[in-house]
Amino acid sequence: MTELQRVALVTGANRGIGLAIARGLAQRGLHVVLGARTEAAAETEAAALTADGLAASAHQLDVTDPVSVARAAADTANQLGRLDVLVCNAGVAIDRGQPASSPDFEKVRATLEVNLLGAWRCCAAAIPEMRKHDYGRIVTITSHLGSITTMADTNVGYRVSKAGLNALTRILAAELDGSGILVNAASPGRTDTRMAYRETDRTPEEAADTPIWLATLPDDGPSGGLFYERKPLAW
């Protein structure tokens, strides 16, 4: 990599929207570290990007494991010299049809562990590295299901996790205001991925457009907003 090349770490980057985001950032000239729960999965997709002439590498990253998260952030900064962009994409949706009045709390706990606490861990690990260069872009991948204005009685654990992620995004954006680190959330909409049960024809590449835009904002870009297709999403 060149001395001034930005470095991005994308969680859950071995398939779907995460992989599309990783490819899009690499096509914009960033060196992208693909994080996945298994090193083999990350290496397979990173190799595909490098075969296309893009700057990419792989790292095992399980967002539910604090040691794995800390190691991924530290190794990225140590090996590549910096960590400029974090895209918190890893997520699960495993409580479809579960009512809030009689939930499966094991599924709720697992959902919060990945979607909210996992993203929070990654942010906490990445921010100190970003502060070293007074620059950072953090994008959390949220959902329209997490919007307070559209709450309903379906996917309750997932909705709560994404609403919490939206709150975390706004809190971090306020805390880091003026530091050179911008924090935003992007809702990609229903996309043709395994998580969405393949019930839509929106491609991961289409869904990746807004997160990629937020991950490369200029210094005067927005922070603390929730975006869907580059437009503010009702909070």
Q: Quick one: residue 59, left, alpha or beta (phi over 0 = left, psi -120 to 50 = alpha)?
A: beta
- The two structure tokens encoding residue 8: 């991005």
How far apart are the C-alpha atoms of 191 and 206, rounded to whole Å?
8
| Residue 65 burial class via C-beta count within 10 angstroms: exposed 0-12, middle 13-18, buried 19 and up | middle
3-state secondary structure of 110: helix
Is 6:29 a contact under the CB 8 Å cutoff?
yes
C-beta separation of 125 from 70 below 8 A: yes
DSSP string, 199-220: -----HHHHHHHHHHHHT--TT
For residue 131, what are the contacts with CB-CB under 8 A and spacing of at least 6?
179, 181
Question: In angstroms, what CA-CA distances link 204 with 6, 142, 191?
Answer: 23, 14, 6
Q: Which of 135, 158, 197, 228 is catalytic?
A: 158
| Catalytic status, residue 197 | no
Residue with tokens 């040691």: 67
Catalytic positions, please?
Answer: 158
